[in-house]
Amino acid sequence: MLDTATASHAVRPAGLRPVWVVCGVVAVAVAAIAGLSFGALSMSAPRVLVEVLDHIPGIRVHSGLSRQEAAIVWELRVPRVVLASLVGGLLAVAGASYQGVFRNPLADPYLLGAAAGAGLGATIAIGGHLSNSGPVGAVTIAAFLGALVAVLLAYVVSTLGGRDTSPAILLLSGVAVMTFLTALQTFILQRNSDTIREVYGFILGSLSTVGWHEVLLVLPYAVVSFTVLLLHGRTLDVLAVGDDEATSLGLHVARARIIVVVASSLATAAAVSVSGLIGFVGLVVPHIVRLLFGSSFRVVLPLSILFGAAFLTLADLVARTAMSPAETAIGVVTAVFGAPFFVLVLRTRRRLV
């Protein structure tokens, strides 16, 4: 066991520097302006920037955009960019938190079966021909509830042998639940073959919006998840030294792990309910942040939110423009970038842990 001085040093790594936050904010701003400027109808990025500034109280400037172009920016692209930022931030911070709480650098937000649960919920709703129109669609609700139920089921399964569960047991329970729910989804698809195309559209992910409904739906969960996880950055740093050492430093390990897992799962469920299953964001972004800025979770968590938002906004831009006027599934775009990075992580995992 580490002595007190060594343990204290291990859980107090370098803190978050303001210049790093500025870098993250700049990345989000650049990605947002790119997302607002380019698409089926491309516009001048400086003019779009001026158009955005014109809506800030106290600033009066004229962008030169036509009324139609301004409508495209504010009614179509702004909600989509905001949604991409929220979903990217949620998936990235959930992935970083899972990596910390399970001490596994290859953990991602779907580790405990959230993806399988959301897919099953969406499949049931689509197979039942339930409408996804209105402020809160049936498919969105079903995906959200399915993701939460899957994580809860994984936790219940992990406690069958006792109340105190190790990360390894929880991980194995998640794998078992994911396999079971995926089998149920396959069975339902076989019984409703006419819905396969729509279900796979959900599985591959999409950020298509009809306004601000999706943003307003996910925003409260984003605020709660971001707040809870950011407040537990130091807790994850303590958990990194091991359960025994963390307990000796006064941390209630089981309670801390449950809080982080619940907040991360809530973030994941909210994200997938409005975007479908977008892979690799929660794996790639935290590793990039860790490589560039350090391993402290007080650094990794807030920067993962910012760079996750920028990453998914740019990925959505590629999805909208790569095969214009057709739109590529955003899950395909993130996989193209994420899969090679995953292989790189596997090859260098000893240096990344």
**What pLDDT does 348 receive?**
67
Q: Which of 262, 267, 272 is nearest to 140 (CA)?
A: 272
pLDDT under 50: residue ranges of the chain: 1-11, 352-353
**What pLDDT does 135 receive?**
53
Report CA torsion sign: 198, 200, 203, 207.
Answer: negative
**What pLDDT does 40 receive?**
83
Residue 11 amino acid letter: V
**What pLDDT does 139 receive?**
83
Is pTM beyond 0.85? Reply is: yes
Rounded Cα gap, residues 26 and 293, in angstroms: 16
Please, are residues 173 and 154 in contact by the beta-carbon 8 Å criterion? yes
**What pLDDT does 136 receive?**
59
**What pLDDT does 162 receive?**
66
Rounded Cα gap, residues 90 and 84, in angstroms: 10
Q: Which of 270, 233, 211 is nearest to 86 (CA)?
A: 270
Q: What are the tens digits of pLDDT across the range 20-74?
A: 999 999 999 999 999 999 988 889 899 999 888 887 877 777 777 888 988 889 9
Please, are residues 174 and 113 in contact by the beta-carbon 8 Å criterion? yes
Q: How many C-beta atoms lie closer than 10 Å to residue 65's C-beta?
A: 18
**What pLDDT does 81 receive?**
95
CATH number of 14-352: 1.10.3470.10
Q: What spatial distance separates the first Cα and last Cα of the chain, rounded to whole Å? A: 20
For the chain, the structural domain boundaries read 14-352
Rounded Cα gap, residues 207 and 89, in angstroms: 14
**What pLDDT does 310 receive?**
97
Rounded Cα gap, residues 296 and 232, in angstroms: 12
